[in-house]
Structure 1
Amino acid sequence: MDATEELNGTYFYHGHANLTPQELFNLILSENFANRTGLETTSAAMILAGQPWLPTRGKPVGATKGTSVASRLSRVILKDMRFPRGVSLYMPTGKNISTLKFTKTNRVAAFIGRSIPWLGYAEVVILLQLVAADTRRQYNLIARPKDRIAWASF
């Protein structure tokens, strides 16, 4: 048998025999997710580095308590570097999407430190979209026409 074949109405895929269409889809999804794991590790590291776990002396009322490793390191490396005069950028603050707020800053280190976890979240979304696209393409190439999944194109 080849790497992918049909047998008695079931599928054979990479050594797995008698697979239903759902099992075939799950194997392909798992395989594609594993192929992109390096990207996922980077996302997780960025998200974790941006969590406010380190204690701080004091913060204004309503501010997120604590600071992150990313914020502390960017402040050490970039010290008191500021954007050019008159430039203030909105930076994301908060631990997750439900606490997300935007505040202005003219300090480069604060902007970078607070943007890192959100870049990680964006990378996770991109990872999931890439895995879904790869899975869709590969599954629909293998599956019989009646088992194929019609995906919406947005």
Structure 2
Amino acid sequence: MDTTEELGGTYFYHGNANVSKEELFWLIFAESLADHLGVSVGTAATILAGQPILKKRVVLGSKVSRTSIASKLARRIFKNAHFPYGIQFSTIVKGRTRVTSKIGAVVGRAVPFIGYAQAIIIVSLVAKDTREKYNLISRPEHRIAWAYF
């Protein structure tokens, strides 16, 4: 018996017999997600590295008492380096916009957003792979006609 076969109105998929169309979809989704998990470790790491989990001393006039691992390391690596020609970047800290010209601050504050972008890309890839494989296996009346990915 093949790995993907129709059996009396149900499906047979990778050793799972009598699988409904919904179960087939979720089996393919889980398989596709598992294929992409190697990337998600890096995604999770960048998101976590950008979270404010380390205590820091409170500077006069500041309400921020925590910083992230990424921010601490970026500031240590870039030290007091500034962007050339006085270029300043707007960054987001706790929902508020802050302007800085320090390279370390910009890099440290951008890290979690890189992780979020990676997570969105992974979810899109998993959804696309799931749809393509499901539509390849399923009967025409069970196929999904998603137009947006």
**TM-score under structure 1 normalisation?**
0.91
Q: CA deviation at 1:116?
A: 0.3
- 1:66-115 per-position Cα deviation (integer Å, ceiling 9, x unaligned): 10111111111110010012200112322xxxxx3332110000000010
Q: Is structure 2 residue 144 aligned with structure 1 residue 149?
A: yes
Instruction: Considering fraction of residues, name the structure with more helix.
Output: 2
Match of 1:12 in 2: 12
Match of 1:23 in 2: 23
Instruction: Considering fraction of residues, name the structure with more strand.
Output: 2
- Residue identity over aligned pairs, in percent, reads 48
Q: Is structure 2 residue 101 aligned with structure 1 residue 118?
A: no
The farther-off stretch of 112-121 and 55-64 is 55-64
Match of 1:97 in 2: none
Name stretches of at least 5 consecutive residues in structure 2 with no aligned partner.
Answer: none
Q: Is structure 2 residue 41 aligned with structure 1 residue 41?
A: yes
Q: Which amino acid aligns with 2:118?
A: E
Confirm or deny: 8 A CA contact 2:58 2:64 kept in the other structure: no
Q: Is structure 2 residue 32 aligned with structure 1 residue 32?
A: yes
User: How far apart, in 2, do the equivalents of 1:149 and 1:31 lie?
Assistant: 18
User: How far apart, in 2, do the equivalents of 1:60 and 1:35 lie?
Assistant: 49
The farther-off stretch of 107-116 and 64-73 is 64-73
Q: Which amino acid aligns with 2:84?
A: P
Match of 1:87 in 2: 87
Q: CA RMSD in A?
A: 1.5
User: How far apart, in 2, do the equivalents of 1:12 and 1:92 lie?
Assistant: 50
User: How far apart, in 2, do the equivalents of 1:33 and 1:62 lie?
Assistant: 42
Confirm or deny: 8 A CA contact 1:92 1:118 kept in the other structure: no
How many residues are matched? 149
SS of equivalent residue, structure 2 residue 120? helix
User: How far apart, in 2, do the equivalents of 1:59 and 1:125 lie?
Assistant: 35
User: How far apart, in 1, do the equivalents of 2:21 and 2:5 lie?
Assistant: 12
- 1:20-79 per-position Cα deviation (integer Å, ceiling 9, x unaligned): 000000000000000000111111100111111111111465754310111111111110
Match of 1:53 in 2: 53
